[in-house]
Structure 1
């Protein structure tokens, strides 16, 4: 018996001695949507507002990592900041469906366990990312949708709100505009400023209203993080598509399309034209290129976003992070709200000409 105990003790000591501390590599990356985001379409006041919220999200998540928290905890806290802001198409700022409702999707995935959770078409969960985490941690399932997902969240004690909580005047105006034009408007692209001024269909005259005709760009929010334990997590949350019909679900809650994490490769959160991201299984494709072809996270992300997606007509971008803290943030649209924090240094970017 003493021999057995000695062997067990030796194994524990060996495991501990080889356990790697990633404290010097902790990193957090975020995005707040991609699309035709240009300086010509942005007022100084709105740009300042976006940068402030993005920076707050970064700082909140990084503070958790610095205190020894997990990447899951950091991703949750970071995304909640953006879900609670009306500036982004997630949570409070979610766009309206054809029926005048706010239907939200979210997903989470852990890189160390490959466990994942997702919700789709929910209408009463204040912070959809918490609903996705609840599905992952407290159910045997990966995805729940509609009334069932809302009911499950309520049973788990998550904060439930009346659907009116998600109402914003800007989003409602965008729906009315879309209904009038009888077409579906994606939340990732919009007319350029000069085109809007020339168009008699917009119904927007004032400068402060103009920014909200760009509401289509207030897209999906996401976060990827690496903690001191060397574990990656990816999370994504969205309000979907303005004027969407028939229970449409995009790529954000689809594991492997808009959200994916694997400690062996990387963590990915995507934003863009969801149908193309689903067909191309974008997030998993980036991971696969790293695993099977040995590409770096940057080369893999560029291959998928800047080549494959472009060839297939898909617009958008991703944030990706590997276990060594290497970051990739490619996008093939005119802009993407994005930022990262590493070694205590943070940077927030919006336009294409802003480089890391």
Structure 2
């Protein structure tokens, strides 16, 4: 018996002297839309502009997390940075509807308590994600739309702008081209695990170019384009919203983790490259689980994305390969 005790002690000491795996204290992922994004469609100058924009947003979020900021505050701030950049289809760079208007949607969700706030179909709120946060924090509701959402935002000190603020030549010319061809879409989003282990997700979009009749996509639908739950993961989606709604993509990933005990990577792959891909649901997701594992999954040729964690792992990418 003494011999076995000595052997056990030796093995314990040996294991304790081995290399220690650093625990992830915080993690962040960002996306700026997914779709038919290939090298022959984007020149090198534009690639550099997108890389710089994603890096700026990533550094903003990473710095906040290093200083101990809460996950929900980080995702709101990062998405605000992306909304202010006309490169992306959110906020300042929002695409135009068939009638030449801008109609924006946004959502935010706190994984600590499943609180959420979303807005849809607004055309005069400078930063829709801030209005979504106000719905979550300052009202008993989850979603507000149109003029009511704008009135609520103004009453809560959110900056209201003239619709001309959202105009960019690039998006207007895109509408004219698309009127002859097919519809395009895009989104921005952020998911975070903070130093306290809390998760949050935020997503914002201008929707589809040439959309009609008050169309609302997956972004402000909790469980479709946006979801966060400390038990499982935080997810922000981008792609063809109608399919993401039908398959409740963001929540489905969480449910596969909770009920089937799949890893985040396996759950995201099953949904994005299985269920969605088989139904022409083009797009992707960014997600983080309760251990800080990050996933950036897509079934499209590209997704504007960036990621970082407390272990020093970080990157920016556009194309799938």
Moved more, 167-176 or 138-147: 167-176
Length, aligned pairs only: 299
Measure how far apart 1:23 and its partner are: 8.5
Structure 2 unaligned runs (5+)?
Answer: 1-21
- Partner of residue 258, structure 2: 291
- Partner of residue 197, structure 1: none
CA distance in 2, matches of 1:184, 1:124: 26
CA distance in 2, matches of 1:163, 1:25: 41
Runs of 4+ displaced beyond 4 Å: none
CA distance in 1, matches of 2:177, 2:32: 23
Higher share in helix: 1
Measure how far apart 1:248 and its partner are: 0.1
CA distance in 2, matches of 1:126, 1:23: 38
Structure 1 unaligned runs (5+)?
Answer: 1-21, 188-218
- Partner of residue 125, structure 1: 125
Give yes or no for contact 2:24–2:309 (8 Å, CA) kept in 1.
no
Matched, 1:185 2:152: no
Using the size of structure 1 for normalisation, the TM-score is 0.82
- Partner of residue 103, structure 1: 103
Give yes or no for contact 1:269–1:318 (8 Å, CA) kept in 2.
yes
- Partner of residue 352, structure 1: 320
- Partner of residue 80, structure 2: 80
- Partner of residue 56, structure 1: 56
DSSP-derived class of the 2:298 partner: coil
- Partner of residue 234, structure 2: 267
Give yes or no for contact 1:269–1:319 (8 Å, CA) kept in 2.
yes
- Partner of residue 334, structure 1: 301
Measure how far apart 1:346 and its partner are: 2.1
Measure how far apart 1:345 and its partner are: 3.6
Measure how far apart 1:76 and its partner are: 1.0
Measure how far apart 1:177 and its partner are: 2.2
Measure how far apart 1:24 and its partner are: 4.3
Measure how far apart 1:229 and its partner are: 1.2
Superposed CA offset, 1:70-98 (max 9, x none): 00111111111110111000000000011
- Partner of residue 159, structure 2: 159
The RMSD of aligned alpha carbons is 1.2
Using the size of structure 2 for normalisation, the TM-score is 0.91
CA distance in 2, matches of 1:101, 1:40: 30
CA distance in 2, matches of 1:24, 1:301: 20
DSSP-derived class of the 1:89 partner: coil
CA distance in 2, matches of 1:342, 1:178: 39
Q: What is the 5 A alignment of 1:216-295?
A: 219-295=186-262
Superposed CA offset, 1:306-352 (max 9, x none): 11101122110000100101011110000101110112442001111
DSSP-derived class of the 1:34 partner: strand
